[in-house]
Amino acid sequence: MSETVPGTPYPPAGDERTFPWAFGLGEYPVAVYGLGKMGLPLAAVFAEETGNVVGVDIDEGVVAGIEAGESHVAGEPGLDDLVSKTVERGALRATTDGERAAESARIHVVMVPTLVTDGEPELGALDAAIEDIAAGLDPGDAVFVECTVPPRTCVDRVQPALVSESGLDPDEFGLAFCPERTMSGRAIEDIRGSYPKVVGGVDPASTELARRVYREVNDAGVHTVRDATTAEAVKVFEGLYRDVNIALANELAQFADAFGIDVTEAIETANTQPFCDIHTPGAGVGGHCIPYYPHFVMGEFEPDAPLLRTARAVNDRMPVFVAERLLDELRAVGTTPADATVAVLGLTYRPGVAEVRATPAKPLADRLADAGVTVLGVDPLVDYVPGFDHEVLDPYELYDRELDGAVLVTDHDVFSELDWGAFDRLAVVDGRQALDLAETDHSVYTVGGG
Ligand SMILES: NC(=O)c1ccc[n+]([C@@H]2O[C@H](COP(=O)([O-])OP(=O)(O)OC[C@H]3O[C@@H](n4cnc5c(N)ncnc54)[C@H](O)[C@@H]3O)[C@@H](O)[C@H]2O)c1
Ligand SMILES: CC(=O)N[C@@H]1[C@@H](OP(=O)(O)OP(=O)(O)OC[C@H]2O[C@@H](n3ccc(=O)[nH]c3=O)[C@H](O)[C@@H]2O)O[C@H](CO)[C@@H](O)[C@@H]1O
């Protein structure tokens, strides 16, 4: 890399006119750290584009599967084929040796889990990946963080760690935050350009290099922002907006009985004008995005965040609210909760995604169990949830069990397709406005419904 970008000694990726060819020919080898639901599709797309990608994961099973040309991520259209083809032609390799991968790469992309433990951001995986990268970081390299992090993480945590552990000066390498704006179930489509890629560097050269790289990957273009912290805030703001607006929908749903209306109908109607986008009430907010991102802001900075706290409290209470509606329905049909067996339908946090982090099913099941209910967990994608201390069934095993009630937490298609008439009269709570039980004699309460 020759020329420098005015205002910083850091050399960008050569000449803008020649960069696409150089990048496409694999002259800027890419390493992707974290090969999960988001990282593997990203690594495969980079491999398709450059022909020269090494993926890094700490899970030996993940690495072995990819080395065999197989994707371990279910439910991603096009991913199985893309992984198979890019591995077969040597464009994508996988390893558990993060340091060695870093030595071979010029562009290092981080997509490891950034989680929350007891309400605190858990960035250990990020720190570990950065440590690997630092061990192999060379002048002129660039680090792009894609996993969601608290604002200021790149400037206050990542850059100092890279400098201290690599021995390089800050202007000898690039660092940018380039958030993953991707939804499980459509990852390749989103990575390829459902929306513009947002990038923000710790300096202009880092922003410029990120722009040049992601312009080769994202057909919707690249939206550059002032700096890395602004880019981190963009990603977190997207999630905060969603958590607050889901909380509004959940709070409104609790007025359905008092108003005597179908709140979902009122929401859908209110949303027919462009200044209103009330989200959908449900049984709770799960996954490692939306319920986690508020904790990247709340309590991490001087200003308090009462709105974020309240929204989190409203959403965290929804599983309990739904469980208590089911207890009401059991009593309404003359069933004593302590004598009841209830199926909790859906253990993953949303349909089609085998992810159970922050699943609403767990607090909901625990509230039922506290009332003496025997709980059966049911899901088509997973048969185990950490901390879920109840029996777990495959959906079709339900027909062999004596049930008194059922609560829909996650609307996997299979639950709408069940033969509900095969069950004796049940107390049912539909937490996702997904069931049509009008032709049955079940006693049904629909969250947000009339
Ligand atoms: N899942 C989503 O819908 C989504 C969407 C946008 C952004 N994100 C962000 O991406 C992050 C990752 O999400 P995901 O769904 O891919 O998680 P995931 O749990 O599916 O995959 C994470 C992968 O990283 C690996 N890993 C953990 N520590 C590592 C390390 N030190 N080095 C290398 N690999 C390591 C794990 O073994 C796992 O394979 C999330 O925490 C979030 O910040 C997720
Ligand atoms: C790039 C990225 O980070 N993408 C994220 C990803 O987020 P995600 O995979 O976590 O999925 P979500 O759809 O946010 O669902 C989370 C939980 O909230 C419940 N929910 C949802 C909507 C609603 O109206 N009422 C609800 O109750 C739902 O059941 C589930 O438990 O995709 C979203 C676009 O879908 C993005 O916005 C979001 O940034």
Mutation choice for ligand 1 from 62, 288, 292, CB with most ligand atoms inside 8 A: 288
What CATH number has the domain bearing residue 411?
Answer: 3.40.50.720
Ligand 1 centroid to residue 113 C-alpha, Å: 4
In a shared domain, residues 262 and 222: no
CB atoms near residue 307 (< 10 Å): 14
Tell me the pLDDT tens digit for each residue of 353-379.
999 999 999 999 999 999 999 999 999
Pick the closest to residue 186 from 50, 345, 45, 358 (CA basis). 45
User: Ligand nearest 244 Cα, by number?
Assistant: 2
DSSP lists the bridge partners of residue 114 as: none
Ligand 1 centroid to residue 34 C-alpha, Å: 6
Helical spans, DSSP H, in 124-255? 124-135, 153, 159-166, 187-193, 204-215, 228-253
Dist. CA 309–CA 344, nearest whole Å: 27
In a shared domain, residues 186 and 319: no
ipTM field: 0.96
Residue 429 has pLDDT above 90, yes or no: yes
Provide the pLDDT for residue 12.
67
Tell me the pLDDT tens digit for each residue of 73-110.
999 999 999 999 999 999 999 999 999 999 999 999 99
Q: Does 438 map to a domain?
A: yes
Dist. CA 364–CA 324, nearest whole Å: 9
Provide the pLDDT for residue 18.
82
In a shared domain, residues 214 and 265: no
Task: Establish whether residue 36 lines the binding site of ligand 1, counting it when its CB lies within 6 angstroms of any ligand atom.
Answer: yes
Residues above pLDDT 90, as percent of the chain: 93
Confidence band, pLDDT 50/70/90 cuts, at residue 17 = confident
CB atoms near residue 191 (< 10 Å): 22
Residue 215 has pLDDT above 80, yes or no: yes
**The domain boundary residue, chosen from 199, 226, 253:** 226
Report the domain count for the chain: 2
Domain hosting residue 54, numbered range = 25-226
**The domain boundary residue, chosen from 226, 247, 269:** 226
In a shared domain, residues 222 and 244: no
Provide the pLDDT for residue 19.
86
Q: What H or E segment, with its residue span, contains residue 201?
A: strand 197-201
In a shared domain, residues 169 and 278: no
Q: What is the mean pLDDT of residues 401-423?
A: 97
- Whether residue 405 contacts residue 428, with contact meaning beta carbons closer than 8 Å, is answered with yes
Ligand 2 centroid to residue 235 C-alpha, Å: 13
Ligand 1 centroid to residue 163 C-alpha, Å: 24
Provide the pLDDT for residue 340.
98
Provide the pLDDT for residue 39.
98
Ligand 2 centroid to residue 433 C-alpha, Å: 16
What is the pLDDT of the chain when averaged over all its residues?
95
In a shared domain, residues 263 and 326: yes
Tell me the pLDDT tens digit for each residue of 186-203.
999 999 999 999 999 999
Residues 6+ apart with CB under 8 A from 351: 410, 411, 412, 413
User: Ligand nearest 36 Cα, by number?
Assistant: 1
Dist. CA 87–CA 361, nearest whole Å: 38
In a shared domain, residues 221 and 246: no
Q: What is the C-alpha radius of gyration for the chain, rounded to an integer number of angstroms?
A: 24
In a shared domain, residues 151 and 259: no
Which of 37, 147, 289, 362 is labelled catalytic?
289
Tell me the pLDDT tens digit for each residue of 379-397.
999 999 999 999 999 999 9
- Whether residue 144 contacts residue 110, with contact meaning beta carbons closer than 8 Å, is answered with yes
Measured over the CA atoms of residue 279, residue 281, residue 287 and residue 293, the dihedral's sign is: positive
Q: Does 233 map to a domain?
A: no
Mutation choice for ligand 1 from 33, 95, 112, CB with most ligand atoms inside 8 A: 112
Provide the pLDDT for residue 445.
97
Tell me the pLDDT tens digit for each residue of 320-349.
999 999 999 999 999 999 999 999 999 999
Question: Torsion angle, CA of 440/441/447/450, rounded to 10 degrees?
Answer: 90
Q: Does 19 map to a domain?
A: no
In a shared domain, residues 115 and 252: no
Ramachandran bin of 69, using left for φ above 0, alpha for ψ from -120 to 50, beta for the remaining angles: left
The verdict on whether 154 is a catalytic residue reads: no
In a shared domain, residues 195 and 289: no
Ligand 2, atom nearest to 353 Cα: 9
Q: Does 15 map to a domain?
A: no
Tell me the pLDDT tens digit for each residue of 270-326.
999 999 999 999 999 999 999 999 999 998 999 999 999 999 999 999 999 999 999
Dist. CA 340–CA 443, nearest whole Å: 15
Task: Establish whether residue 186 lines the binding site of ligand 2, counting it when its CB lies within 6 angstroms of any ligand atom.
Answer: no
Comparing 7 with 432, the larger pLDDT belongs to 432
Provide the pLDDT for residue 255.
96
Mutation choice for ligand 2 from 73, 76, 180, 183, CB with most ligand atoms inside 8 A: 183
The verdict on whether 235 is a catalytic residue reads: yes
Pick the closest to residue 407 from 354, 328, 360, 343 (CA basis). 343
Q: Does 7 map to a domain?
A: no
Q: Does 142 map to a domain?
A: yes
Token readout for 339 is: 């004598």
Which of 37, 197, 235, 362 is labelled catalytic?
235
**The domain boundary residue, chosen from 180, 204, 226:** 226
Residue 3 has pLDDT above 80, yes or no: no
Q: Does 350 map to a domain?
A: yes
